Structure 1
């Protein structure tokens, strides 16, 4: 693999890749997706948000239930059930039993951080991922609630 040409650690978000008609999919032509991945990899980058291609796999879980105005069982909270369902759905879609990094994408203010992180720790102990990341969290709020000490 070529050496990374940037001092920045670049992670390619692949949420726009998907079958035509899928929510959020903007690139559904396999040849186009392969070309993008080839260029990304040719520049020495290897981290994708999701995709199994001999690269590091990551996924994130946004607390969709926390922001929804309707009760829908397919939405996720950052509680034990929601985290497990969301992570297992990602693993199934990735055809993987483990990923490198599991991101919590934004805080779920309806669930205490301690409860969220306890559930994350259980999934970690089960070997579902190697690292956890916080995405779109406000640092000062995390510090005020001692989340940084918990992680």
Structure 2
């Protein structure tokens, strides 16, 4: 298949779902046994306890002998995070945690609009020249801002963005019209996160309160985002319709969502899907679903039909 898989680590760390280095080692072996090697991390992972995920990967020496390749995201989500000095401070700490000299992709995780993007881009260009990363990534920036970075790179001869992480799944298809055309124009790969809408397809029912500590718990960092994105009547109806058509073919909502994204969406060569999990059995199941091949045509048509009824309620593809 032309669409790569990248293992997410947002649940990794002593305060995450994967709480020990030993448990993470088992996760990595399973992922690698399916022929995969790309890992996605971030300064903030797990949310609220920055550094734990990167430290786990560093302790496991994941890049030894080229077994795994690491992408990570800089400190973000606060005013002043993307000044030149803050960016330099962030990557220094992160490389030390990961026990590496460089990463494959280094991301600006989310826009810091209190700092000029030119200043942030200049810092990224300097780090690129120093060999701290191979690919410049953006995540959660809007279309106009992506174009701004790409055009500045052309004008100044600076490192250009070559990867973009964004929300994309069955009920979040806005990138097909507002984001992907721009990414294709500038030859930027699209890495789709939240393919299962953080469990919305399987773990959430209309009118049911989310479990404490879950991905939709409003008391958590992630839960606030997820409820804002997905807790809408039209989207609950979409999931109920998806369940109905899937049951006719004996295919679960999660399997439908993953197989659609890899085989029927607008992702293509050079793009990737970020694979999440909260335990090893869940990862095993998700990997098997992703290797399942195209869906029955009736299900694909139902997904397209559902999208037409919910597109106005769907989450925005960028912050």
TM class, shorter-chain normalised? 0.7 to 0.9
Larger radius of gyration: 2
Q: How is 1:92-131 mapped onto 2 (pairs within 5 angstroms)?
A: 92-131=96-135
TM-score with structure 1 setting the length: 0.78
Runs of 5+ in structure 1 lacking a partner?
Answer: 1-5, 67-75
Compute the RMSD of aligned alpha carbons: 1.7
Deviation at 1:95, TM superposition (A): 0.8
Q: Could you say which residue in structure 1 is the equivalent of 2:273?
A: none
Of Structure 1 and Structure 2, the greater helix share is in: 2
Deviation at 1:141, TM superposition (A): 3.5
1:103-141 deviations in Å (ceiling 9; x for gaps): 111111011111110010011111111111111111233
Structure 2 SS opposite 1:108: coil
Q: Distance in 2 between matches of 1:122 and 1:58?
A: 18
User: Does the aligned pair in 1 maintain the 2:83–2:119 contact within 8 Å?
Assistant: yes
- Where does structure 1 differ by over 3 angstroms across 4 or more consecutive aligned residues? none
Q: Could you say which residue in structure 2 is the equivalent of 1:84?
A: 88
Structure 1 SS opposite 2:4: coil
Residue-pair matches, total: 131
Change over 3 Å in CA distance of 1:77–1:30 after alignment to 2? closer
Matched, 1:59 2:72: yes
Deviation at 1:64, TM superposition (A): 3.3
Structure 2 SS opposite 1:65: coil
Q: How is 1:1-151 mapped onto 2 (pairs within 5 angstroms)?
A: 6-18=1-13, 20=14, 22=15, 25-50=16-41, 51=57, 52-53=61-62, 54-66=67-79, 77-143=81-147, 146-149=148-151, 150=153, 151=160
Q: Distance in 1 between matches of 2:99 and 2:25?
A: 18
Runs of 5+ in structure 2 lacking a partner?
Answer: 42-56, 154-159, 161-319
Structure 2 SS opposite 1:48: strand
Deviates more, 1:113-122 or 1:51-60: 51-60
Q: Distance in 1 between matches of 2:90 and 2:75?
A: 9
Q: Distance in 1 between matches of 2:89 and 2:19?
A: 26
Q: Distance in 1 between matches of 2:121 and 2:71?
A: 18
